[in-house]
């Protein structure tokens, strides 16, 4: 199928450090196996996007940090983002009119191969589906953490990913989940999910699994100090070009602790034989079928005004998932 009409799209670009703008771009003609999607909503993933926006992607990670459908090159200019929900306007007949999720930057209309699209479950509101990439990350973290029934779990960081990890872990039978964040306003958010919340030190020093999703090195040190014998500590934060100082002279060796990394770009070995990226994303969308998750959308802005609003959205520590409306 081809589309003879030239279409001008608009996309959010990071033009230089701390600067962004809306740029027009001509979409290529539609080819066989491609679809044209008009965006309904996209979500700002504050943690990763803030590092990209501030030019803090280290040169060694330029290739690995390239997102699907990203344009430009690190550090700048770059078109970045990975949480777009839209409706298929052109393409193969069976896709027309479908509401889909795509790992795509913030753009009002885009063209991609149909194998990069995932159809939303019928019961999932499009405006909540912007959390799909975050839920996929949280699911991967829970897999990496190997949480078992009855485990005591500490999650550091009550941002979107930290809350989603806690939400998933709390549904494992017999599991106790403590969510920690120095921001006291996150206590109300934790309560909506029935989670134990602590703004300071966790109440136990015998956790079985500890997960740092805070982006704060201090939380990783706290996790080391509150881990039980042979506990697993999962570092889910990405620090960009920040170099960490980690105190391993305390209980790390005596308690035979395991420090693991988690990164959504790879499916854990325990799942890899059966799970593809497509299956994982579909499951992430299914896991969003809970109305309580709307609490993770902290605010929204019209796409026409996003370039002016973006710097403040990124810098505001109260931002969870900020939704862009098209």
The pLDDT, as a whole number, for residue 250 is: 85
Which residue bears the tokens 């042979």?
A: 230
Structure tokens at 149: 């029934």
Give CA–CA dist 169/73, Å, rounded: 37
**262: pLDDT confidence band, cut at 50, 70 and 90?**
very high
Quickly state the pLDDT bin for 4 (edges 50, 70, 90). Answer: low
Half-sphere exposure of 20 (CA within 13 A, CB side): 30
H helical segments located in the chain: 46-53, 132-145, 160-169, 186-192, 217-225, 251-254, 269-272, 277-287, 306-315
| Number of residues in the chain | 326
Q: What structural domains does the chain harbor?
A: 7-128+293-325 (3.90.180.10), 134-271 (3.40.50.720)
> Residue 257: pLDDT above 50?
yes
| pLDDT tens sequence across 123-163 | 999 999 999 999 999 999 999 999 999 999 999 999 999 99
Over residues 226-242, the pLDDT tens digits come to 999 999 999 999 998 88
CA distances from 125 to 90, 128, 254, 270, 286 (A): 22, 6, 49, 31, 11
Rounded CA separation 253/4 (Å): 65
3-class secondary structure for 235-271? ECCCCCCCCCCCCCCCHHHHCCCEEEECCCCCCCHHH
* Average pLDDT value for residue range 196-215: 93
pLDDT band at 203 (very low <50, low <70, confident <90, very high): confident
d(CA 112, CA 193): 36
Report the C-alpha gap between 231 and 251 in whole angstroms.
Answer: 11
Q: Cα separations (Å) of 154 from 54, 142, 163, 169, 252?
A: 30, 12, 11, 10, 17
List the end-to-end C-alpha distance of the chain, in Å, as a whole number: 26
Residue 173's Cβ-count burial label (10 Å; 0-12, 13-18, 19+) is exposed
CB atoms within 10 A of CB 97: 9
Task: For residue 163, give both structure tokens.
Answer: 């809350």
Reduced to 3 states (helix: H, G, I; strand: E, B; else coil), residue 95 is helix
pTM over 0.85: yes
Q: What does the pLDDT read at residue 6?
A: 82
């Amino acid at each position: 199928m081809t589309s003879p009409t030239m279409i001008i799209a608009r996309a959010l670009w990071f033009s230089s450090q701390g600067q962004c703008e809306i740029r027009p771009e001509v979409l290529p003609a539609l080819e066989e196996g491609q679809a044209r999607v008009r965006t309904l909503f996209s979500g700002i993933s504050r943690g990763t996007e803030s590092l990209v926006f501030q030019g803090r992607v280290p040169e060694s990670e330029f290739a690995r940090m390239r997102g699907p459908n990203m344009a430009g090159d690190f550090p700048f200019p770059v078109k970045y983002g990975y949480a777009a929900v839209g409706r298929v306007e052109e393409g193969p007949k069976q896709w027309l009119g479908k509401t889909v999720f795509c790992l795509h930057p913030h753009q009002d209309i885009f063209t991609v191969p149909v194998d990069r699209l995932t159809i939303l479950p019928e019961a999932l509101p499009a405006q909540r589906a912007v959390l799909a990439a975050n839920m996929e990350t949280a699911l991967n973290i829970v897999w990496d953490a190997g949480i078992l029934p009855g485990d005591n779990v500490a999650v550091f960081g009550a941002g979107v990913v930290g809350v989603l990890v806690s939400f998933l872990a709390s549904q494992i039978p017999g599991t106790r989940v403590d969510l920690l964040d120095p921001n006291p306003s996150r206590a109300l958010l934790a309560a909506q999910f029935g989670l134990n919340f602590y703004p300071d030190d966790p109440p136990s020093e015998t956790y079985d699994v500890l997960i740092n999703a805070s982006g704060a090195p201090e939380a990783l040190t706290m996790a080391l100090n509150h881990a039980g014998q042979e506990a697993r500590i999962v570092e889910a934060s990405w620090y960009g070009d920040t170099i960490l100082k980690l105190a391993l002279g305390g209980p790390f060796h005596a308690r035979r602790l395991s420090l693991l990394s988690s990164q959504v770009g790879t499916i854990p070995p325990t799942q890899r034989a059966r799970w593809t990226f497509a299956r994982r994303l579909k499951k992430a969308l299914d896991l969003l079928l809970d109305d309580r998750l709307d609490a993770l959308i902290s605010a929204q802005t019209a796409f026409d005004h996003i370039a002016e609003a973006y710097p403040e959205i990124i810098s505001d520590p109260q931002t969870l998932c900020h939704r862009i409306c098209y």
